[in-house]
Amino acid sequence: MNTTDPDFRTPELDLLAREIIPTEHFEFSTETARDRFFHDTRMLDTKQRVHNVFRTNPRSMVDHMRDNLRLTGTEDLLDLGCGNAFVLEHLRPSIADGTITGLDNAPGVLDAARRRMLGTATPCTWIEGSADDLSMLDDDSFDRVMANYMIHYVPDLDACFREVRRVMRPGGIFQLTTDRPDSMLEMYQVHFTALTEMGAPADLHRATPKGRLSLDNGRPQLARHFDHVETATWQDQLRFTDPEPFMEFYRVGHNHCCASSEPDARLDEDFFIELRDRVRAQVVAAIGEKGHFAVTKYTGSFLCS
List residues near ligand SAM by CB under 6 A.
30, 33-34, 38, 80-83, 86-87, 103-106, 109, 130-131, 148-150, 153-154
CA distance linking residue 201 with residue 267, whole number of Å: 9
In the complex, what is the shortest distance from the CB of residue 154 to ligand SAM, in angstroms, rounded to a whole number?
4
In the complex, what is the shortest distance from the CB of residue 153 to ligand SAM, in angstroms, rounded to a whole number?
3
- Closer CB to ligand SAM, 215 or 286, in the complex: 215
Burial of 162 (0-12, 13-18, 19+ CB in 10 A): middle
CA angle 161, 130, 35 (to 5 degrees): 135
- Closer CB to ligand SAM, 51 or 205, in the complex: 51
- Closer CB to ligand SAM, 173 or 194, in the complex: 173
- Closer CB to ligand SAM, 48 or 282, in the complex: 48
- Closer CB to ligand SAM, 248 or 274, in the complex: 248
> Buried b vs exposed e over 75-102: b needs ≥16 C-beta within 10 Å?
bbbbbbbbbbbbbbeebbeebeebbbbb
In the complex, what is the shortest distance from the CB of residue 276 to ligand SAM, in angstroms, rounded to a whole number?
22
- Closer CB to ligand SAM, 30 or 301, in the complex: 30
Give the HSE-up count for residue 262: Cα atoms under 13 Å, Cβ half-sphere: 10
In the complex, what is the shortest distance from the CB of residue 181 to ligand SAM, in angstroms, rounded to a whole number?
16
Burial of 247 (0-12, 13-18, 19+ CB in 10 A): middle
Q: Which amino acid is at 191?
A: H
In the complex, what is the shortest distance from the CB of residue 224 to ligand SAM, in angstroms, rounded to a whole number?
19
In the complex, what is the shortest distance from the CB of residue 133 to ligand SAM, in angstroms, rounded to a whole number?
9
Q: How far is CA 114 from the centre of its chain?
A: 20
Pairing of strands 99-104, 168-179: unpaired
- Closer CB to ligand SAM, 77 or 286, in the complex: 77
Alpha helices (runs of H) in the chain, residue ranges in sequence order: 11-20, 30-32, 42-53, 61-69, 86-91, 107-117, 157-167, 185-198, 218-223, 243-248, 269-290
In the complex, what is the shortest distance from the CB of residue 282 to ligand SAM, in angstroms, rounded to a whole number?
26
CA distance linking residue 146 with residue 280, whole number of Å: 36
CA distance linking residue 274 with residue 288, whole number of Å: 21
- Closer CB to ligand SAM, 110 or 286, in the complex: 110
In the complex, what is the shortest distance from the CB of residue 148 to ligand SAM, in angstroms, rounded to a whole number?
4
Q: Which of 257, 178, 164 is nearest to 213 (CA)?
A: 178
